[in-house]
Amino acid sequence: EVSVTSSRYSFLIPHLLDMGSLLIKPVQRIMKYPLLLGELWQATPEDHPDSRPLQEAFTATKIINININEFKRRKDIVMKYKNSEDEGTLRKLHKFNIHSIRKKGDRFAGYLKILTGVEPQVRDEVFDREEKLFRSLEKAVRQLVKNVQSYLQYTQVDSNPILPSVTPKRRSVKAIGTQTSNVVFSQKDNMERLVLAPLTSLQGMFTAPQKLIQKRYDKLLDYCSRLERSSDYEALNALLVEELQRFNMASYAILTNCAVYVVVLLRGLMEEILLGVPSVQQLPAPLSNITEVQNSIMDELNNLAFVKENAQKLMERKVSFERQRDKKITPEVEHQTEEQRARLLAEFPPSRLYQLKRKCNGCQKEDLSLLEGELVALLEDTDPMGSSSRWLVHTGGKFGYVYSTFLKQYNPLRDSQRGDASCFFSQYYAVYAFQARCDQELTLQEYQHVRILQFNDLGGNKEWWLAEVDGQRGYVPANYLGRMSYA
């Protein structure tokens, strides 16, 4: 009605404003209010009662204008960098020039100065705290989305058990499986609607803040290197500090609600499934006596010829199958024999003989894998590439290359003091005490000397060694033994 009336009188009065112009006037006059109030305050005597309220109103309108300008400037800066991220590759190539190359080089130099401590880094504790929370929330949301998607993908709908024949009990179990399938279908739909959909939407919202955070770090380097005025950095930092707090609070609330929904849905699924599941006593065979069935199957396996033969040789306390499966299989390093050692001592002078300071594993094709204390003879002090750190040596049985850092000069005097030469590579000591638990094992005292006869058991397991102490033989755990050093 007001708009129609103003339109009617606009023909009579040429300069009459329409309704839209009248509504926008208060917004357009915001910048004029400080001028008007300033003139009124200057014209008002100091002893007048309106002088102080006019001064306060003048200060408030100035602050309002400053805040409006600052907010508008921040939005313009954010939109500028946001639009630059959305530009195509061709547009970015047009901006690639000497100035941009120099700018990025200066940023990299400033980054190195901050890392080395040459220049202090400008820090904002509030931003650092909010950014850390932002990164944690992004990681948690991404991982939860991945887990929920995997759960929905691998949920097995068909839960009918496989039974040998059609019986009334089997038909009842089949009916239970059909009921379970319906429950799972309903639960998957709720999981997608209540958990996966909001989490996926939230995950896509992390992209824009991440770009602004990266741009903020670039502007921080420019600010520290005095390459640009501080306005861009301060505007980006102030905007991120303000909005990251609100974003993190909202993201945390959505993530918490989705996690609660997951727990509630899974709990409801299990309750609905258990309602129709019979007790253990009501299940048909062999489900009701699963322990007896498993034991009978194991007895059948043990009665097989090759299993029974090996079972007599192997001991029950060997490492379990799961541990053996996870363990990485590495080739065993062959021990140097006394014949090979005697051959080296007879054919080469002591100046050409070296000993291994520590165990060496070959990395390249022609490298040798040797054990600590083994003896080698130097043939050439360079490799085919001319490197003096890789030597060609002879072990008494084969040739190969070893890095010189693993070798030390052979000392015949120390070698002569080691006692019986025939026991050099078989003498160990007990690091821990071990109590035998059957006739095939050997009891050891702590620090007791042990002679190793074989570095595995009859089944080839290298974690149990055949040892001899005072004429008694038996198996002991390899990790209970330590190599005696004569160097």
Distance in angstroms (rounded) separating the CA atoms of residues 421 and 403: 27
Looking from the CA of 139 toward its CB, the CA atoms found within 13 Å total: 6
Phi-psi bin for 117: left (phi > 0), alpha (psi -120 to 50), beta?
Answer: left
Cis peptide before 286 (omega within 30 of 0): yes
Tokens of 391: 């030597």
Q: For residue 211, which of 191, 240, 169, 177 has the smallest C-alpha distance?
A: 240
Q: Is 448 helix (H, G, I), strand (E, B) or coil?
A: coil
* Tally: H helices and E strands in the chain: 16, 10
Residue 49's H or E segment, with its range, is: none
Q: For residue 467, which of 439, 458, 459, 477 has the smallest C-alpha distance?
A: 477
Q: For residue 361, which of 410, 403, 394 has the smallest C-alpha distance?
A: 403
> Would you say 51 and 45 are in contact if contact means Cβ atoms under 8 Å apart?
yes
**Per-residue confidence (pLDDT) for residue 6, from 0 to 100:** 56
Q: Hey, how many other C-beta atoms are within 10 angstroms of the C-beta on 396?
A: 21
Distance in angstroms (rounded) separating the CA atoms of residues 421 and 486: 11
Distance in angstroms (rounded) separating the CA atoms of residues 112 and 108: 6
Q: How far is CA 94 from CA 86, 87, 97, 107, in A?
A: 15, 11, 8, 21
pLDDT in tens, the chain (487 residues): 555 555 555 555 556 667 777 777 777 778 788 888 888 888 999 899 988 999 999 999 889 888 888 778 777 777 776 666 555 666 666 666 776 677 777 767 776 776 776 666 677 888 889 989 999 999 999 999 999 988 888 775 444 444 444 444 444 444 555 556 677 778 888 888 889 988 998 888 888 888 888 888 777 777 666 645 556 777 778 888 888 888 899 999 999 999 998 998 888 888 887 776 656 555 555 554 566 666 676 667 666 655 554 444 444 444 444 444 444 545 566 778 878 888 888 888 888 899 888 888 888 878 888 888 888 999 988 888 888 888 999 998 888 999 888 898 888 776 655 444 444 445 788 988 999 888 889 999 988 888 888 888 877 788 888 888 888 889 999 889 888 764 4
Q: Is 481 helix (H, G, I), strand (E, B) or coil?
A: strand
> Would you say 354 and 378 are in contact if contact means Cβ atoms under 8 Å apart?
yes
Q: What is the pTM of this model?
A: 0.43
Q: For residue 429, which of 452, 447, 454, 453 has the smallest C-alpha distance?
A: 447
Q: How far is CA 217 from CA 36, 87, 95, 409, in A?
A: 43, 20, 20, 56
Largest CA distance in the chain: 130
Tokens of 131: 């950014």
Distance in angstroms (rounded) separating the CA atoms of residues 255 and 11: 61
375 forms beta bridges with 355
Provide the 8-state DSSP code for 441. Answer: B
Provide the 8-state DSSP code for 278. Answer: P
Q: For residue 111, which of 221, 214, 229, 219 has the smallest C-alpha distance?
A: 221
- Per the listing, tokens 């803040």 go with 209
Domains defined for the chain, CATH in brackets: 108-275 (1.20.1270.60), 290-326 (no CATH), 338-412 (2.30.30.40), 421-483 (2.30.30.40)
Distance in angstroms (rounded) separating the CA atoms of residues 69 and 29: 14
> Would you say 377 and 352 are in contact if contact means Cβ atoms under 8 Å apart?
yes
Residue 50's H or E segment, with its range, is: none
* Range 257-261, long-range pairs (CB < 8 A, 24+ positions): 257/198, 258/144, 258/194, 258/195, 258/198, 258/199, 259/144, 261/191, 261/194, 261/195
Distance in angstroms (rounded) separating the CA atoms of residues 208 and 303: 67
Distance in angstroms (rounded) separating the CA atoms of residues 236 and 213: 8
Tokens of 374: 């083994």
Q: For residue 227, which of 111, 142, 334, 305 has the smallest C-alpha distance?
A: 111
Q: Is 129 helix (H, G, I), strand (E, B) or coil?
A: helix
Question: How do the residues of the chain divide into helix, strand and coil, expressed in percent and rounded to 5?
Answer: 55, 10, 30
